[in-house]
Amino acid sequence: MRIAIVGSGYVGLATGVSLAEVGHHVTCIDKDAGKIKMLQSGKSPIYEPGLEAFIIKNLEAGYLSFSNDIDNGCSTAEIIYITVGTPQNKDGTTDLTDIKEASIDIAKTISQDVIVVTKSTVPVGTSETLKQLIEENLVHPVSIEIVSNPEFLREGSAIHDTFNGDRIVIGATNNFAAGVIEEVNRPFNVPIVKTELRDAEMIKYASNAFLATKISFINEIATICEKVGANVDHVASAMGMDKRIGHQFLQAGIGYGGSCFPKDTKALIQLSGNVEHDFELLKSVVKVNNNQQDLLVEKAKQRFKSLTGRRVTLLGLAFKPNTNDMREAASITVVDKLIAEKAEIIVYDPVANETAKRTLPEGVNYADSFQTAVKDAEVVFILTEWEEFKQIDLSEFKRLMKIPIIFDGRNCFDLDVMRVYEIEYHSIGRPSILR
Ligand code: UDX
């Protein structure tokens, strides 16, 4: 099939590249000319394992192209995916400006019947609104159908997830359109669920809200574990063995971040409010997560009384490992709090230092290696569980730090191992190791 992808961010690129990989002819479009130029030369603008290799392979094979001109890919496409960003407004509602603008731009280029697929996360009912908007702005008398096909990929494993997903959701009112999108996705060999449009839109919000709830739940259990002398990792591990609960998303830590959970939970609370339902449970999930991000600094303040002038090193800045994405990362909150405490801040992330420079406030010192970051530190905070940190020779902390005290927000190390190294070690939901 000839497919156009409007919006070449995370979702757009992962979708476009994967569709090209299974043999469709795909043009990925973006307004950002610099980004398109980069992609045309086979370079990925985002850090995503496996993505660049697929870009190069499919560019060379002629299945994939990139364009700055919406006319270019859309006018001859049989299917157009909308994958532009749907950020959140200050009040938690979804900002539909870009997706509406993209829909109008698409409408003006279409010169043959086409299926438009919304992949961006949008409030329930939006796909219908977009269909109407496109129809109102058509230049040629063509027919369009709309399909909602929400994206469940995780950053850092986007390509893997596309080929190994648990399900592909296809929401449509028109059976023919749903059937076409089913065929397009068949080569991925992932179970396909066909639903109504509104069901598909809701499935995305409900799934992300549920996963966020699991995280906040285990983080609450972690807080209680600390108070009663239990170990949350042992608790979560045995809980997860119950198949009804499962092991995934039970890792206690400094809270969830990223481009989806914080935004989607707030949007669902807003959506519920619009239909006069107070989603109390989800409001608590968000509140617990906000508190969780403050936890390490609060613990350190209790330990030292004051952090003023203290040399504090943050290891890990991205919202999770295997990405350079800083959106809603816990490190942003931690840095703000440390600046307010007048601490001296050194930071290091194996991949996200450059994105962090554009996100974090002035006054933060960037180190280019673990060793330079940790040297002479009086406290280390671990905020992202990068493999590089988990594999570190623990004696390095003792050798390099002025005083070896670690506040680990991701429970990277085994308590028994830590005891051997005589490092003061505070983590989440587990007994502290004091020297
Ligand atoms: C998420 C969803 O998983 C994906 O299906 C959706 O389409 C987009 O949002 P992503 O934001 O890439 O994907 O990251 P994910 O791996 O889900 O992690 C989100 C956040 O939760 C991270 O900050 C992570 O550190 C945190 N998390 C995750 C925990 O704190 N504990 C866990 O057990 C799992």
Q: How far is the CA of 400 from the centre of ligand 1 (A)?
A: 32
- pLDDT, mean over the chain: 96
Residue 433 belongs to a domain: no
pLDDT of residue 422: 84
Check which CATH number belongs to the domain holding 247 and give it. Answer: 1.10.1040.10
Question: CA–CA separation, 329 vs 258, rounded Å?
Answer: 6
Domain stops at, among 169, 195, 221: 195
Q: Does residue 435 carry a pLDDT above 90? A: no
pLDDT at 1: 95
Q: Per-residue pLDDT tens for 358-376?
A: 999 999 999 999 999 999 9
In the predicted model, what is the mean pLDDT of residues 390-410? 96
Structure-token pair, residue 4: 């156009």
CA nearest to 291, candidates 385, 384, 216? 216
pLDDT over 90 at 254, yes or no: yes
Instruction: Looking at the structure, tell me whether residues 251 and 341 fall in a common domain.
Output: no
- Residue 309, classified by CB atoms within 10 Å of its CB into exposed (0-12), middle (13-18) or buried (19+), is exposed
Q: Return the residue whose CA atom lies nearest to atom 25 of ligand 1.
A: 320
Mutate to test the pocket of ligand 1, among 256, 266, 289, 292 (most ligand atoms within 8 A of CB): 256
CA distance 73 to 275: 39
Looking at the fold, whether 362 and 246 belong to one and the same domain comes out as: no
pLDDT of residue 273: 94
281, 290 Cβ separation under 8 angstroms = no
**What is the Cα–Cα distance from 74 to 107, expressed in whole angstroms?**
9
Cβ-Cβ contacts under 8 Å for 173 (sequence gap 6 or more): 196, 197
**CA–CA separation, 314 and 317 (whole Å):** 7
Considering only CA atoms, which residue is closest to atom 32 of ligand 1? 249
> Which residue's alpha carbon is nearest to atom 27 within ligand 1?
256
Are 72 and 114 in the same domain? Answer: yes
Q: Could you tell me if residue 172 is inside a domain?
A: yes
Q: How far is the CA of 325 from the centre of ligand 1 (A)?
A: 12
Q: Which residues are catalytic?
A: 260
Interatomic CA distance for residues 43 and 53, integer angstroms: 9
In a domain, 431, yes or no: no
CB 253 less than 6 A from any atom of ligand 1: yes
Q: Whose CA is nearest to atom 31 of ligand 1?
A: 251
pLDDT mean over 168-195: 97
Per-residue pLDDT of 137-171, as tens digits, reads: 999 999 999 999 999 999 989 999 999 999 999 99
The distance from CA 250 to its chain's CA centroid, rounded to whole angstroms, is 17
Q: Which of 290, 325, 349 is the last residue in one of the domains?
A: 290
108 shares its domain with 161: yes
Residues 49 and 125 in one domain: yes
Contact 123, 148 (CB under 8 A): no
Region of 5 (left: φ > 0; alpha: ψ -120 to 50; beta: rest) is beta
> Which residues have C-beta within 8 Å of that of residue 23, sequence separation ≥ 6?
63, 187
Do residues 191 and 166 make contact, with C-beta atoms less than 8 angstroms apart?
A: yes
Domain hosting 283: range is 204-290
- Cα of 258 from ligand 1 centre, angstroms: 7
Measured from the Cα of 253, ligand 1's closest atom is 30
The verdict on residue 265 lying in a domain is yes
Residues 159 and 18 sit within 8 Å (Cβ to Cβ): yes
Nearest Cα residue to atom 1 of ligand 1: 154
Look at the chain and report how many structural domains it folds into: 3
How far CA 393 is from CA of 370, 388, 398, in Å, comes to 11, 10, 10
CA 204–ligand 1 middle distance (angstroms): 14
What would the mean pLDDT of 383-406 be, rounded to a whole number?
A: 96
Statement to judge: residues 280 and 147 lie in one domain: no
Nearest atom within ligand 1 for CA of residue 154? 12
- Measured in Å, residue 320 CA sits from the centre of ligand 1 at 8
Residues 157 and 47 in one domain: yes
Q: Is residue 434 part of a domain?
A: no
CB 168 within 8 A of CB 218: no
Q: Is 257 in the pocket of ligand 1 (CB under 6 A)?
A: yes
* Mean pLDDT computed over 193-208: 97
Tell me the C-alpha distance between 187 and 165, whole Å.
Answer: 12
Asked if residue 72 has pLDDT above 90, the reply is no
SS3 408: strand
Sheet holding 405-408, edge to edge: 364-366, 344-348, 311-315, 379-382, 405-408, 424-426
- Please indicate whether residue 10, judged by its CB atom, sits closer than 6 Å to ligand 1: no
For ligand 1, is residue 251 a contact (CB within 6 Å)?
yes
Q: Are residues 257 and 329 in the same domain?
A: no
CATH code for the domain of 334:
3.40.50.720
Residue 435 in any domain: the answer is no
The model's confidence at residue 391, banded by pLDDT at 50, 70 and 90, is very high
pLDDT value of position 93 = 87
pLDDT value, residue 92: 82
Domain match, 188 and 75 both:
yes
% of the chain beyond a pLDDT of 90: 93
**Which amino acid belongs to residue 124?**
V
Question: How confident is the model at residue 237, as a pLDDT?
Answer: 98
Q: Give the pLDDT band (50/70/90) at residue 204.
A: very high
Nearest alpha-carbon partner for 153 in 258, 242, 276: 258
- Ligand 1 atom 22: the closest Cα is on which residue? 256
Ligand 1, pocket-test mutation among 168, 204, 260, most atoms within 8 A of CB: 260
CA of 256 to the centre of ligand 1 (A): 7
* Residue located nearest, by CA, to atom 5 of ligand 1: 152
What tokens does 395 get? 């004696």
Decide if 419 is inside a domain: yes
For range 340-349, the mean pLDDT: 97
267/128 same-domain check: no
Kindly give the distance from the C-alpha atom of residue 154 to the centroid of ligand 1, in angstroms, as a whole number.
7
Query: In this structure, are 246 and 313 located in the same domain?
Result: no
Ligand 1: which residue has its CA nearest to atom 17? 154
Q: Judge if 36 and 92 occupy the same domain.
A: yes
- Parallel, antiparallel or unpaired: strands 25-29 and 64-67: parallel
Ligand 1 pocket test: which of 215, 219, 263 has the largest number of ligand atoms within 8 Å of its C-beta? 215
Instruction: Say if 432 falls within a structural domain.
Output: no
**pLDDT tens-digit profile of 206-249?**
999 999 999 999 999 999 999 999 999 999 999 999 999 999 99
What is the 214 CA–ligand 1 centroid distance (Å)?
11
Count CB-CB contacts under 10 A for residue 104: 13
Q: Which of 143, 168, 195 represents a domain boundary (last residue)?
A: 195
Burial degree of 241 (CB within 10 A; 0-12, 13-18, 19+): exposed
Q: Is 14 in the pocket of ligand 1 (CB under 6 A)?
A: no
Instruction: Give the ligand 1 atom nearest the CA of 150.
Output: 7
Rg (CA), the chain: 23
pLDDT digits (tens, 9 = 90+) for 286-329: 999 999 999 999 999 999 989 999 999 999 999 999 999 999 99
